[in-house]
Structure 1
Amino acid sequence: MSEKLKEMSVAAFVDLTASDAPAPGGGSVSALFGSLSAALTGMVAGLTVGKKKYVEVEAEMREVAAAAEALKKELVEEIDRDSDSFNEFMAAMALPKNTDEEKAARKAAMQNGLKSAAKVPCHVAETAARIFPLAKTVVERGNTNAVTDGLVAAMAARTAVIGAGLNVKINLASIEDEDFVAEYSARVAALEEQAIAAEREIFALSELTREI
């Protein structure tokens, strides 16, 4: 696949995801969720700036918008990085295994590929988790006409973190480096707990979601 995922139309990306192609999968989709979360957060902040009603928070909202834009750009890049890391593992699986030397080289390459396929979604989860305080700010003090967009941002960030974490876990199951597995398992567990708590905290700020 020569075309970058991030450069596809929405329809083309969705169709490719629905096809029998091995990538994009849940990891790239989680990165996409994260980028959309950041985009929505930045949108609400932007809709708050310049409004007389919100003049007291204008400087804060400008900072939120800038931070959200940076996270959006980073997560858009992760959409392709996740699929690339998966393809690295698939390429390792295709290596020859006719001799003991070839088998050892193939196994080492596969283990390295699995580590890459775990590191990338872990980074996605960590990056997406940085959206929560921004989303909380726009829901709590941003333009009330766009509060639902901030709430959707919180949900999308949670999905990005949990989804990316699941992709870490499935790769950890085949990695033989026990220290690596222990480190990334702990990182994912902490991120999952953070995401669930952060979404709940943000939802509690709005009458629209308090019963959810």
Structure 2
Amino acid sequence: MLVEKSVHDFIEIVDSNEPVPGGGSVSALAGSIAAALGRMVGSLTFNKKAFKEYDESIQNCLRESSEKLLSLKEELEKGVDKDANAFDKVMEAFAMPKETEEEKKLRSEKVQEGYKIALETPRRAAKACMEVLDLLEPFVKYGTKGAVSDVGVGVLMATSGVEGSIFNVKINLLAMKDEKYIEEANKEADEIIEKMNKKRDELLKIVYERLK
């Protein structure tokens, strides 16, 4: 499994002439690291005197966000390998015989099915990374000031995870023929990017203000 390799080994595998792991796996990893950074900032915050002075609702929000980030961190970590294997069905379909018209038709249908399966992995990763970005907000606002740069990096990593995953969604859509599916998937992807840009700008503004 890719996630069980050392950082060095993972980078070396990416730095090869193999198509996987590629941008999709790296995007999932970015989202998982973002979640980990949020939880790290939470761990550094919970024992601080300032945390105990926060309103109970803020304390609960930070703790609940940390728990949700754990779940997303694990999901996205699994997504590193899932993305690397997502294209398997497409490759299997391309290997099907295409001698007769019937075989060509079946092969084409299986290729299209394969692309839909491949697309679901980055589609879910984009949504998961967006959830991570949303959950970083309380740590950006209330996390211990000494770690505000760390949660700021988390924001950047989550953003990369979202946008990188959307790149993978869109490149798979280029090979698809179902116009309705393409339109709906593109609309969803564009809405996620719009939401991401707004949230990223809001959070980075707070990060820079807290760094003064």
Identify whether the pair has TM-score above 0.5, normalized to the shorter chain. Answer: yes
Q: Give the AA of the match of 1:84.
A: N
- Partner-residue secondary structure (3-state), 1:97: coil
Q: What do residues 98-131 of structure 1 show as CA deviations (whole Å, max 9, x unaligned)?
A: 2222212211111111111212111100111011
2:16 counterpart (6, 16, 19)? 19
Q: Give the AA of the match of 1:193.
A: E
- In the other structure, the counterpart of 1:191 is 192
Query: What is the number of residues matched between the two proteins?
Result: 208
Identity among equivalent pairs (%): 35
- In the other structure, the counterpart of 1:205 is 206
Q: How does 1:124-135 map to 2 (within 5 A)?
A: 124-135=125-136
TM-score after normalising by structure 1: 0.92
- In the other structure, the counterpart of 1:162 is 163
Q: State how far apart, in whole Å, the 2-side matches of 1:40 and 1:145 are.
A: 13
- In the other structure, the counterpart of 2:114 is 113
- In the other structure, the counterpart of 1:6 is 3
Q: State how far apart, in whole Å, the 2-side matches of 1:80 and 1:108 are.
A: 26
Q: State how far apart, in whole Å, the 1-side matches of 2:36 and 2:111 are.
A: 35
> Mean alpha-carbon deviation: is it higher for 147-156 or for 9-18?
9-18
User: Is 2:39 aligned against 1:42?
Assistant: yes
Report the CA distance between 1:208 and its aligned residue: 6.2
- In the other structure, the counterpart of 2:143 is 142
Q: What do residues 38-85 of structure 1 show as CA deviations (whole Å, max 9, x unaligned)?
A: 111111111111212211244332212111111101111111111111
Report the CA distance between 1:209 and its aligned residue: 8.7
TM-score after normalising by structure 2: 0.92
Q: Give the AA of the match of 1:37.
A: A
Q: Give the AA of the match of 1:107.
A: S
- In the other structure, the counterpart of 1:66 is 67
Q: What do residues 12-41 of structure 1 show as CA deviations (whole Å, max 9, x unaligned)?
A: 111111111121111111111111111111
- Partner-residue secondary structure (3-state), 2:21: coil
Q: How does 1:83-94 map to 2 (within 5 A)?
A: 83-94=84-95
- In the other structure, the counterpart of 2:25 is 28
Q: State how far apart, in whole Å, the 2-side matches of 1:65 and 1:173 are.
A: 37
> Mean alpha-carbon deviation: is it higher for 141-150 or for 4-13?
4-13
Q: State how far apart, in whole Å, the 2-side matches of 1:170 and 1:125 are.
A: 14
Q: 1:194 and 1:69, CA in 2 relative to 1: closer, same or farther beyond 3 A?
A: same
Q: Give the AA of the match of 1:28.
A: S
CA contact (8 A) 2:149 2:207 kept: no
> Mean alpha-carbon deviation: is it higher for 60-69 or for 166-175?
60-69
CA contact (8 A) 1:40 1:150 kept: yes
Q: State how far apart, in whole Å, the 2-side matches of 1:207 and 1:151 are.
A: 9
Q: 1:201 and 1:13, CA in 2 relative to 1: closer, same or farther beyond 3 A?
A: same
CA RMSD of aligned residues (A): 1.7
CA contact (8 A) 1:48 1:58 kept: no
Report the CA distance between 1:164 and its aligned residue: 0.5
Where has structure 1 moved over 6 Å in runs of 4 or more?
none
Q: 1:100 and 1:204, CA in 2 relative to 1: closer, same or farther beyond 3 A?
A: same
